[in-house]
Structure 1
Amino acid sequence: MSGEAPLARRAAVEALGTAALVAVVVGSGIQATELTRDIGVQLLANSLATVFGLGMLIAFLGPVSGAHFNPAVTLAAWFTGRGTGDGPALRDVGAYAAAQVTGAIGGAVLADAMFGRPLVRLSTHDRFAAHLWLGEVVATAGLIWLIFGLTRVGRAQLAPLLVASYIGAAYWFTSSTSFANPAVTIGRAFTDTFAGIAPSSVAPFLAAQLVGAAVGLVLVAISFGRRPDTATPPKGATARSSEESSSEESALTS
């Protein structure tokens, strides 16, 4: 992990960034449903806002925390770096995950407050179906494949653009609309709005996302081979570029 900022600051940035991301997702969903009854237009508005918000957050906060905003990304970074010590330590993983989940819940509450909705109302949007779980496996696998693949090919500087673009596309080509993020999934259970997910649907989504993360790492290995010992390991969703590696850690995100 980055040596420039202490863990407490990095965890705080992860909480704030994840809160902002969920506020964008939930808030744009509420706004869309208030402006139109057309489901397709609602999803388009929701996905576009998410693309713009996510790309900005990755570029903005990546140099501090790596801008994971996603426990699946943090776990994947730990797994790939565990043998060399280049990845996050388990202490970092725990701090990041706790911060991400807390931030996600806070972001959902904030979005509801901005639109005059009840601050905490659990979602009634049932998403309990096998084809949705498959969609989450695919969405998360693609996300991990992209994030860690970019690092392998030395194009991590493109991550803010490409990761945000991928999430925007996955809104449309996956049946689940690409949650692809355990923290965001939990946060979205706390809002009974367009972007919500019923608490009873959360656990299968989380399981599918973890399976997807594992599949994504397999895809990285198949596509790019074993990571050389001298390669810069992924530091997060948008791991740092070679030019930045001496002072800054790049980012991700969904």
Structure 2
Amino acid sequence: MSDPDRLLARPHPLTGPRAVPAPGLHTLPLGGRRDSYLFVPESVKPARPAPLVLLLHGAGGHAHDGLRMLLHLAEHAGLILVAPTSSASTWDIIARRRYGPDLALADAALGHAFAHCAVDPRRLAVGGFSDGASYALSLGLNNGDLFSHVLALSPGFIGPGTRRGRPDLFISHGTRDGILPIGPCSRSIVRELRAGGYPLTYREFEGEHTIPPEIAQEAVARLVAGAHRGEG
């Protein structure tokens, strides 16, 4: 029986006939009450492995909100984006206190992307904002043998599970965040992860519960460069 915190999908070389997605936004054929999406930029060449980000929306959001975090940067950076939608108003470890349908959906969404797109395993990230950032940290730390990078923008906590691998971590947070206060959230998280020896870049900014453009740009630049250098 598989561990409840594990994602099983893995990128692999694409061989034989396959339906390569055309550039643009695609609804994933995964079922569920709410749609999930795959975005393929025109700059991605079908046979050349590209970076990919699994994007997780905040509480009360939808896959479109997950996409919006990095969609404006995807074409220039050549990023494939995968955005599932939580089954409830937020992700399962928050709504249900355990991993369940949302982890299974994320696994299926990744599996679909890996089956149809050439993905670079050295530049494979999970990212999110707010509750999505908490879920991204949780999935990323528990599946660090899959994800090379974790992009956590204004997270609140790290969920349960067995930590595996050593993904490169990028965390940001606004100093005036009134929804997830920086002290008990990111500052506490960063202390814990640094004590654990993770490669980690931490950016505080003067602002509230948001993603400044320069923060999104730095996170993407680190992923595309394949950076594994904790700093800040």
Fold in common (TM above 0.5):
no
Going by fraction, where is strand more abundant, 1 or 2? 2
User: Which of 1 and 2 has higher RCO (CA within 8 Å, sep 6+)?
Assistant: 1
TM superposition score normalised by structure 1: 0.27
Going by fraction, where is helix more abundant, 1 or 2? 1
